[in-house]
Every structure is written in structure tokens, then in C-alpha cells.
Amino acid sequence: MATFDRHATTLALAHALSAAERGLAVIPLSRTKLPALRSPHHEDPVDAPQCHGECGRPGHGVYDASTDPFRIRELFAAAPWSTGYGIACGLPPHHLIGIDLDTKTGTDSSALLRELALRHLFTIPPTVVVMTPSGGRHLWLSGPPDIVVPNSASRLAPGIDVRGAGGYLVGPGSRSEHGVYSTAPGTAHLAPAPCPRALLRLLTPAPRTKAAPAGGSHQGRGLVQFVLGARVGQRNTRLFWAACRAYENGIGDDLARHLTDAAVRTGLTEREARATIASAARLTAGREV
């Protein structure tokens, strides 16, 4: 292995051990940001989904996560190509929730989070913020022990992913193919702040129910307003996201006309709007919230 790789592995292990001292369970990651250890069941894929580490061998992704320094050193020794570490979400004592503000979707995810905060009357308290090599940000929040926050991608808003139970965040100090993850200035000493209750309600949606006609419902109006707020370059993305949320919550058919009208007002043609909504309907068909 190259000298640079050994150095990167040594640094990653040091950062991982430091995170473990703060009660954060960690696993080694490769340069691709994926778990560094291959599944011990790769030749027997039938057993792989059923085993979450009960076999006693490493290679079960986030289920290997540990705060035990001896165990962490074992994991890194088994994966000497590691250049980073992942922090498991949803585990005590912090019950970590990660809000991933992406920059690769062409939308301003930070602005969308501020818009959500204004609409739902919450503020993000001072907390740990990790800067990604691509210019994104990971906000660390602490959840209550009795609520399970699921992982999601662009469900909260376009470009905002959520890491919850069964997920992990790339830890600061990790090196990926694109650069190094680092803690934003002034946040390294902070503990993950409690997740605002209003935001927590958005992260843990109620079970899917068939709703009454929703053109004038609070949720329906919110989705329509979200589409109306689109700027050039955001119109299809916002419309698709809103239509997905509508169909997931059983109001897609009732809201489709209102979403189409809103999209046309932003500059899309009616044909484009209907095609985007139809794509959302196909994608969400049969999917539970």
C-alpha cells in the first residue's frame, strides 16, 4: 500500500477513535464513502440480508459500528485501505440524525431548508456542521430515543437527504475520492443539538392514508405553493418532488390539476407538467410512506 494511503488510514483511525470517545459508533470507509469491509456473505447472497453481524464476522456495514476502541482498531486492521470512517445514526446516546444539504442537484438546498423552517416555524440550533468536498453540508441533530427517523433522499425537499436509523454519516477528517470532510469553523466543540419538534414531525411522516379531495387542504396548498416558488432551472425538480409527496400521501390524483396549473404559471407547458406528474405517479405507485 502507498505511503499516502497508510497515512490516510492512520488519520482516519485517529479521527474515528476520537468520535467514539464522544459516544459516536463508527465503521471504516473506503475512498468511495462505502463501508470498507466486504460482506462475509458475498458468496452466499441468500443469507446476506438476514445477517446483521450475528455471525460474528465483520463486513455488515453500519451494523459493525462500535464505540469500543479495541473493536474499532480490529475493523481498521481488517481494512487497511480505509481512508475514512462512517458514524452510525440512530444509536444511543445521541440518536444522531443527519441532514445532508447536497449541492449536486442544481437546487439551493440550504435555501429550501430555510423555507421549510419559516413555513413550519422552527429554527436549527447551533450544532455540529460537517463540510463535504463537493461544497455540501451535513447538519448533526440529536433525536429522542423513542422515535425512529428513517433514511430518505430528497423527501424533505429537493437536495435534502436524511440519515436516520440504519444510515451513517461520513465523519470529519475522512478522505474520499473528491477530498476531505471537515468540521465547519466554530462547530467542532458542539454536541449534536436536539432536533426541533416541528422538523422531527416532518422527518417521521404519518402512515399513508387515503385523503379526501385535497385542492384546498393545508398539505395540498403547501405543495402548490412550493411549485409556484420555483425559479428557472427548478421548475421540473420542484414539480416532480411535490407530485411524489402528493401521491405518497394519497392525494396525487386530486391535486394533479392544481399542480399542473401552478407549473404552467411558472413557465412550463401543460404537456411538460402533465408528463412530470405522470412520472411521479409511476415512481410512487405501490410505495408506502
CATH number for 174: 3.30.2250.10
* Same domain for 200 and 97: yes
In the chain, how many domains are there? 3
In tens, the pLDDT along 114-124 reads 999 998 999 99
Which is more confidently placed, 229 or 186? 186
Residue 140: is its pLDDT beyond 70? Answer: yes
Residues 6+ apart with CB under 8 A from 143: 90, 95, 96, 97, 149, 164, 195, 200
* Same domain for 200 and 110: yes
* Same domain for 56 and 19: yes
Single residue among 67, 88, 109 that ends a domain in this structure: 88
In tens, the pLDDT along 243-279 reads 888 888 888 888 999 999 888 888 888 888 898 898 8
Instruction: Quote the pLDDT of residue 105.
Output: 65
* Parent domain of 120: 93-204
Residue 237: is its pLDDT beyond 70? Answer: yes
- Coarse DSSP helix, strand, coil percentages of the chain, rounded to the nearest 5 percent: 40, 15, 45
Q: What angle do CA 62, 289, 117 make, to 5 degrees?
A: 85
* Same domain for 276 and 247: yes
Residue 34: is its pLDDT beyond 70? Answer: yes
**Cell numbers standing for residue 11:** 488519520
In a domain, 289, yes or no: no
Residue 76: is its pLDDT beyond 60? Answer: yes
* Same domain for 83 and 23: yes
d(CA 128, CA 140): 5
**Cell numbers standing for residue 55:** 455471525
Band the pLDDT of 288: cuts 50, 70, 90: very low
Contact between 220 and 227 under an 8 Å Cβ cutoff? The reply is no
In a domain, 50, yes or no: yes
**Cell numbers standing for residue 130:** 460537517
* Same domain for 229 and 245: yes
In a domain, 1, yes or no: yes
Contact between 26 and 88 under an 8 Å Cβ cutoff? The reply is yes
SS3 assignment, position 236: helix
* Same domain for 195 and 107: yes
Residue 213: is its pLDDT beyond 70? Answer: no
* Same domain for 184 and 117: yes
In a domain, 211, yes or no: no
In a domain, 210, yes or no: no
Band the pLDDT of 154: cuts 50, 70, 90: confident
**pTM for the whole structure:** 0.72
* Same domain for 97 and 73: no
Band the pLDDT of 45: cuts 50, 70, 90: low
Strand order in the sheet with 84-88: 26-29, 84-88, 168-170
d(CA 142, CA 135): 23
d(CA 71, CA 217): 52
Instruction: Quote the pLDDT of residue 40.
Output: 82
Single residue among 88, 119, 142 that ends a domain in this structure: 88
SS3 assignment, position 162: strand
Distance (Å) of CA 6 to CA 101, 179, 240: 31, 16, 45
Residue 54: is its pLDDT beyond 80? Answer: no
In a domain, 21, yes or no: yes
* Same domain for 82 and 45: yes
Single residue among 31, 60, 88 that ends a domain in this structure: 88
In a domain, 164, yes or no: yes
